[in-house]
Chains A and B, each alone.
Chain A
Amino acid sequence: MLLEALTLQLGYNATLVTIGAALLGLAAGATGTFLFLGKRALVSDAISHATLPGVALAFMAMVALGGDGRALPGLLLGSAISSAVGLLCVSALTNRTRLSEDAAIGAVLSVFYGLGVVLLTVIQSMSSGRQAGLESFLLGSTAGMLWNDALVIALGGALVLALVALLRRPMTMVAFDPEFAAGAGMNVHRIELAMMGLALAITVVGLKIVGLILIVALLIIPAVAARFWSERVDHVVLLAGGIGGVSGYVGAAISATAPGLPTGPIVVLVAFGLFALSLVLAPGRGVLAAILRHRRFQARVHVRQGLLALAQGQPIYEPLTLRLMRGRGLIRADGVATKAGRAQAARALLDERRWQLLRSDPAHEEAAAHYDGLTPLESVLTPDQLRALDRGLRPGDVQAGALQ
């Protein structure tokens, strides 16, 4: 069943929804990256909640003009206008008053949402409003998706993607370093507005599929997940688009397989699954990689200390050190050093003496900054420098050390 859904064989509506969700995820992931990199991910929360009064007002306006209140383009236009007003309120509260951006976001999202709910109850009391079904915009509803709706989503998504591709350089600069961007002669305010405008467009386009509460997830989660895999902005944007697209596609396909699996939440949960995988598995920034790094470092420290103890004839009690050194064939099961162990121990001790000498000599200040108790000095100094340094060692220093 799932295989059929993934290969788009579950009928017309399911296919439409799946492709639409994939496109939406792709565009949302790519757009959201810039918000996330600029540390303004939650602005999308204000944008999405601010769509509600617009949807309601558009419905009322279209009914008042004698039309069908449910026409998607009209509702989307209304939502775009009201969330733009919300966005301007956030920016006015942040720039003109002492309130911080998070307070402005929270205020705008709750007030606009409250106003939207008031308007929804007004619509419910209108004669033509009983079946308006505007509540479906809260959580999305894909059951009755039409070809025209899908077209609106596809065109909107494509337009946003094209704009992202066009504006990626200025948006990157503004996201990372607004002051530098301003210094380079860019209109930072306008670029920020464009960034927000694109997020707004995604929100509006996504209302039908995932609804206004969960579209925030599609703007934030793919970007955060993609950030684990790369340090380059263009890669993160592409990856985020990919993760968003896959979430949309797989999520919509899963939700098509059975009733009671609403599209929006499933898409979000798939995206979170990909995020969790990234958090654990990503090389470099992932949790697993960090644990492995820690274990490797721990092993190096233990072996080094064990070797130094061997060289100085001290007994080793630490169980982890013993286990590591046995595993490396440096000591025998009874704790006596093997030949390889003795050789490495002597080398470790020599290295330690060299470091001591180096660090006591201010002439080597720069090289001494590399000291961490683990790095062999051979990797810091050239052979010539090493020979010069060795002249400073007391004759028989190493052997004396070994006999102590």
Chain B
Amino acid sequence: MMGAEFVALSLPPILIGIFAAVACALPGNFLLLRKQALIGDAISHVVLPGIVGAFLVTGVVAAWPMMIGAGVAALIAVGMIEAIRHLGGIEPGAAMGVVFTTLFAAGVLLLEQSDTSTVHLDVEHALYGNLESLIWLDGMGWHSLLDAGALRGLPPELPRMALTLLLVIALTWLFWRPLTLSTFDEGFARSLGVPVGAVGLGLVIVAAIAAVAAFDAVGSIIVIAMFICPPAAARLMTNRLEVQIAWSVTFATLSAVLGYVLAGYGPLWLGFQDAVSAAGMIATVSGVILALAAVFGPCRTRAGTA
């Protein structure tokens, strides 16, 4: 399990899974504290019309146009949600529900209408991703990690996801102070001159970037689960934001590794032959972690109640 086969078949997907999970969990912490946790859910639904639209425009299934299309769709969705909220005086949850279901429906319709039979583009791919297929054929063993030629054969999702993660970390670190201030006490932040609206929009955009990049590699289930479950479990462990973020990164990493291993090897251990969906298993593991935190977490109850 730890030999050459592992490096070629399991290392890249596990790394991609970890990067994607952490990249989503970091902004997820702030979204959770701002009671905007479902933004991740909405974004991952509207990614579908975005990628289908990008395919219709460019005619090819390529990563960059699709990510741009998904990003544009996410921005359109956020704009529509805000417009419906303000023009119609609708509460945010319902406005979100109207927008993401409509855009998702439009995406499905576009997909059915366009001739995508020749290319690999379908709803299931969008939902589950294909983590298992991101293998590294040039990886002959651990020594390949030092071989430039072999490294060039890595699945392109890996560097892209790593880059996204670095971007998310850098932005979180750079904007730490305005972000935390406006998350916990918007009025105070505004009185200090923090552009609260811009910070909120920036957070949503970063979340969208993470969601779109991760979605390309691992499908939207992991994206939704990682936005919410690790931060929520971490929130039940501590009262301090720094510690919460550390916990959430730990939980996200743990979910990715355990989920992938259980999906790949669990059925074999139980005597079955085929592996199960890694994306689904990662989401499931993150749910189990959240359930454990909800039952045993030291800070699980609201302040003031027993």
Contacts and interface: CB of A to CB of B under 8 A. Distances in A.
B102 A264 contact: no
B229 A41 contact: no
A262 B109 contact: yes
B98 A287 contact: no
B244 to A, nearest CB: 12
B118 to A, nearest CB: 15
A311 B98 CA distance: 53
A268 B230 CA distance: 32
Contacts of A122: 267, 272, 276
A93 B294 contact: yes
B224 A98 contact: no
Interface stretch (A109-117, A143-151, A162-170, A330-338): A109-117
A320 B272 CA distance: 79
A135 interface: yes
Given A107-B228, A110-B229, A125-B273, A102 B94 contact: no
A96 B300 contact: yes
Contacts of A268: 101-102, 105
A125 B272 CA distance: 9
Contacts of B45: 213
B94 A224 contact: yes
A15 to B, nearest CB: 22
Given A111-B229, A221-B101, A275-B98, A100 B38 contact: no
B40 A214 contact: no
B59 to A, nearest CB: 18
A260 interface: yes
Interface string A246-285: 0000000000000011101110110010010001000001
Contacts of B94: 36, 39, 41-42, 220, 223-224
A117 B280 contact: yes
Interface in B267-294: 267, 272-277, 279-284, 286-287, 290, 294
B60 interface: no
Interface stretch (B68-76, B85-93, B139-147, B163-171): B85-93
Interface residues of B, number: 67
Nearest to B283: A114
Contact of B290 (A111, A216, A262): A111
B165 to A, nearest CB: 20
A228 interface: yes
Contacts of B91: 39, 41
A269 B301 CA distance: 42
Nearest to A123: B276
Given A42-B96, A135-B124, A138-B123, A113 B101 contact: no
A39 B93 contact: yes
Interface string A73-93: 000000000000000000011
Interface in B117-162: 123-124, 127-128
A145 B91 CA distance: 37
A117 B277 contact: yes
Interface residues of A, number: 62
A196 interface: no
Contacts of B277: 117-118, 120-121
Nearest to B44: A110
A102 B34 CA distance: 10
B104 interface: yes
Nearest to B287: A111
B39 to A, nearest CB: 9
B217 interface: no
Contacts of A287: 87-88
Nearest to B221: A114
A264 B284 contact: no
B104 A213 contact: yes
Given A99-B235, A111-B287, A279-B84, A118 B263 contact: yes
A111 B294 contact: no
B97 interface: yes
A262 B124 CA distance: 16
Nearest to A118: B280
B224 A110 contact: yes
A105 interface: yes
23 contacts: A41-B97, A92-B294, A97-B301, A102-B38, A103-B37, A103-B228, A105-B38, A107-B228, A110-B229, A111-B229, A111-B287, A113-B224, A114-B284, A117-B277, A121-B280, A125-B273, A139-B123, A213-B101, A217-B101, A221-B98, A224-B95, A269-B105, A269-B109
3 closest Cβ contacts across the A-B interface?
A114-B283, A111-B287, A117-B280
Given A118-B280, A224-B97, 16 more contacts: A39-B91, A97-B236, A102-B38, A103-B235, A110-B286, A114-B279, A115-B284, A118-B277, A120-B280, A121-B275, A125-B276, A138-B123, A138-B124, A224-B94, A262-B108, A268-B102
